[in-house]
Structure 1
Amino acid sequence: MTDSSSAFIHRSVLLDETVEAVLTRPDGIYLDGTFGRGGHSRALLARLGPQARLVAFDKDPEAIAAAQAVGDARLTICHASFADAAAHLAALGLPRVDGVMLDLGVSSPQIDDPARGFSFRFDGPLDMRMDPTRGETAADFLARADERQIAQVIRDYGEERFAVGIAKAVVARRQAEGPLQRTSELAQLVARAVRTREPGQDPATRTFQALRIHVNAELADLEQGLSAALAVLAPGGHLAVISFHSLEDRIVKAFMAHESREEVDRRAPFAPPTRDLRLKLLGRIKPSAAEVSANPRARSAVLRVAERTGAGVV
């Protein structure tokens, strides 16, 4: 396979804004939970001092290869989900970090490589795994799941109102001609099942998003990863998270909102809080018009930033 780090271009979204948001001290310890092709990591390393450390995570072996090619002794790369960050950092002797950045979703090299099966725009194997060395492919799931399971995934993770019709079509196709194997087959099937669509959006958009999220357990990873980030952030450390669709952003927003509130016992409202706030919200940033013009994939991005408070740290 052609090395996607050279064959496919990846433009990091909200690059300067994210680095500025996460950087608290030049010689600190930082975590990049989604290395991708390393745009945010490289930009952060350029701002860090010689004694700093950056630990990066990714599930994609091609991202790991890109990280190994950086050639910076301050960078440590882990072939794992950022949901497991706390255990990996502990093994490295780094119980606390000064900043965590997460750039969620799928990267441009993954989308643009037909062999990865993420895009309905190219014909390729119906794979969609972030880590193609393990786990169930999208084709595997569609070959074994029943109509109810398929509809639930497409509805819950794609917010697709025609989920039942698409699921019926998948099962009917499976019974008549065998399981779906190619991205083009799925895209054509969805196009026939979806009766109307928002202007400018391909009928298969929501279904492909849903299957990708399901195959990679993205939302479960995000929830666990946010908890891990909170556990390893030192007081004063910053958490910066870029989301690209409403399901991700809803989880990030709710997590930050919950952790930025004190909890009190409603039966004793004047008693001390039962839990102190653990995050202070610092802001929400959207890409500029110039960035969206230069990189249309930035259009839906949202960067949320919060600071770890000193209260409640164990």
Structure 2
Amino acid sequence: MGKPSLPETDVQGGPHVPVLLEEVLSALSPVAGRRVVDGTFGAGGYSRALLEAGAHVIGIDRDPSVAPHVEALTQAFPDRFRFVAGTFSELDTLVADAGPVDAVVLDIGVSSMQLDQAERGFSFMRDGPLDMRMSRSGTSAADLVNGLEAEDLANLLYAYGEERKSRRIAQFIVAARQDTPIATTLELARIIEKAIGRKPGDAHPATRSFQALRIAVNSEFDQLVEGLFAAERLLVEGGRLAVVSFHSLEDRIVKRFFDPDKGGPTASRHLPQVEAAPRRWHPVAKAVKSGAAELARNPRARSAVLRSAVRTGEAARPIDLKGLGVPQIRGAA
């Protein structure tokens, strides 16, 4: 997070290869003739590759700024591409009229396109309004930074950003906002750097705090969990789900969703054996990370992890957070 690179797709100059593209296509294979839902359309990198491979694609996104990329693919593939505005947490409802769906791809978190637009307020590397709203509506990062009490802000930074120095950061933020509200990304980044310092070679000190605020603003963990279960309801037997995540908290949720046994307590040999729950996903592929060539091309890929699995014929589960390892803010209801 935070290192600049090319946008995922340049509407004028053609596509820029998104993270783990070949690996995603391999996980969803075969693609030709299949109906695929790209639940996090973004700049359209995965959708374009899927369309070029012969798939029928439905793109979903809540960000209004994706419109130029939607238009580009609509013109290029009028018979095999359509777009639905909304969140991927509702993907089964949004594409209910599409007929059987063979595959779903989800790319979790902020996109290169969003990071590269200073006015969106996602990046501490560019000066812009402290916003971070993917849908451009609702509570902004500025609302949280300027409105939360110190303890609540510290708990948020710790739970969603794994920021060990969250209390000190929160204290500095509260002190800084006394005279004038904190309004810009660089202003907040400077406050955080002042609070905890910066060692040469380390990641920017604001990295974890910006991650936490973005996750909170966009309800990203709720979206992820609901989206995973929506895909489970939607996909036909043999359907494939591929999920690319960018930090350990998201990856843990995906891992345990595919294989609930990973998140459960270790069985004791002294207790009666409990019958295993039916598998909704099998086989579950091993996690895949970016190789050296991709990392050289795009430093943002360094934290990307792809997990994928195949849907069985077992009935979909009701949404259940138990065992998924979803971070909880201390003191929250």
The alignment's TM-score, normalised by the length of structure 1, stands at 0.88
Shift in alpha-carbon separation, 1:43–1:211, aligned structure 2, 3 A:
same
Q: Which residue in 2 is equivalent to 1:156?
A: 159
Give matches, 1:235-246, under 5 Å: 235-246=237-248
Shift in alpha-carbon separation, 1:274–1:247, aligned structure 2, 3 A:
closer
Q: Which residue in 2 is equivalent to 1:121?
A: 125
Q: Which residue in 2 is equivalent to 1:201?
A: 203
Determine which of 284, 289, 292 is the counterpart of 1:289: 292
In the TM superposition, what is the alpha-carbon distance from 1:23 to its structure 2 partner? Answer: 2.9
Q: Is 1:222 aligned to residue 239 of structure 2?
A: no
Q: How many percent identity over aligned positions?
A: 42
Determine which of 135, 142, 152 is the counterpart of 1:131: 135
Q: CA RMSD in A?
A: 2.6
1:84-120: per-residue Cα shift (whole Å, max 9, x none)?
Answer: 1111122x243x3111111111111211111111111
Amino acid at match of 1:216: N
1:116-175: per-residue Cα shift (whole Å, max 9, x none)?
Answer: 11111111100111111x111101121211111111111111111110111111111122
Determine which of 177, 180, 187 is the counterpart of 1:178: 180
Determine which of 6, 31, 35 is the counterpart of 2:41: 35
C-alpha separation between the residues in 1 aligned to 2:143 and 2:248?
Answer: 27
Determine which of 98, 102, 111 is the counterpart of 2:106: 102
2:236 partner SS? strand
Amino acid at match of 2:82: T
Q: Is 1:88 aligned to residue 94 of structure 2?
A: yes
In the TM superposition, what is the alpha-carbon distance from 1:24 to its structure 2 partner? Answer: 3.4
Q: Which residue in 2 is equivalent to 1:144?
A: 147
Shift in alpha-carbon separation, 1:158–1:274, aligned structure 2, 3 A:
closer
Q: Which residue in 1 is equivalent to 2:5?
A: none
Amino acid at match of 1:74: R
Shift in alpha-carbon separation, 1:183–1:113, aligned structure 2, 3 A:
same
In the TM superposition, what is the alpha-carbon distance from 1:69 to its structure 2 partner? Answer: 2.2
Determine which of 46, 56, 61 is the counterpart of 2:59: 56
Runs of 4+ in 1 over 6 A off after TM superposition: 259-262
Q: Which moved more, 1:250-259 or 1:215-224?
A: 250-259
Shift in alpha-carbon separation, 1:63–1:23, aligned structure 2, 3 A:
farther
- Contact 1:10 / 1:109 at 8 angstroms: preserved in 2? no
1:70 partner SS? helix
Q: Is 1:258 aligned to residue 289 of structure 2?
A: no
**Structure 1, unpaired ranges of 5+:** none
In the TM superposition, what is the alpha-carbon distance from 1:310 to its structure 2 partner? Answer: 2.1
- Contact 2:25 / 2:31 at 8 angstroms: preserved in 1? no
In the TM superposition, what is the alpha-carbon distance from 1:221 to its structure 2 partner? Answer: 0.3
Q: Which residue in 2 is equivalent to 1:311?
A: 314
In the TM superposition, what is the alpha-carbon distance from 1:247 to its structure 2 partner? Answer: 1.0
Q: Which moved more, 1:101-110 or 1:19-28?
A: 19-28
Q: Is 1:111 aligned to residue 106 of structure 2?
A: no
Shift in alpha-carbon separation, 1:208–1:7, aligned structure 2, 3 A:
farther
In the TM superposition, what is the alpha-carbon distance from 1:19 to its structure 2 partner? Answer: 1.4
Shift in alpha-carbon separation, 1:299–1:103, aligned structure 2, 3 A:
same
Count of residue pairs brought into register by the alignment:
300
Amino acid at match of 1:162: K
In the TM superposition, what is the alpha-carbon distance from 1:283 to its structure 2 partner? Answer: 2.4
1:284-305: per-residue Cα shift (whole Å, max 9, x none)?
Answer: 2111111111111111111111
1:193-240: per-residue Cα shift (whole Å, max 9, x none)?
Answer: 114558331111111111111101111100100000111111111111
In the TM superposition, what is the alpha-carbon distance from 1:5 to its structure 2 partner? Answer: 4.8
1:161 partner SS? coil
The alignment's TM-score, normalised by the length of structure 2, stands at 0.83
C-alpha separation between the residues in 1 aligned to 2:218 and 2:190?
Answer: 23
Shift in alpha-carbon separation, 1:143–1:231, aligned structure 2, 3 A:
same
Q: Is 1:79 aligned to residue 85 of structure 2?
A: yes
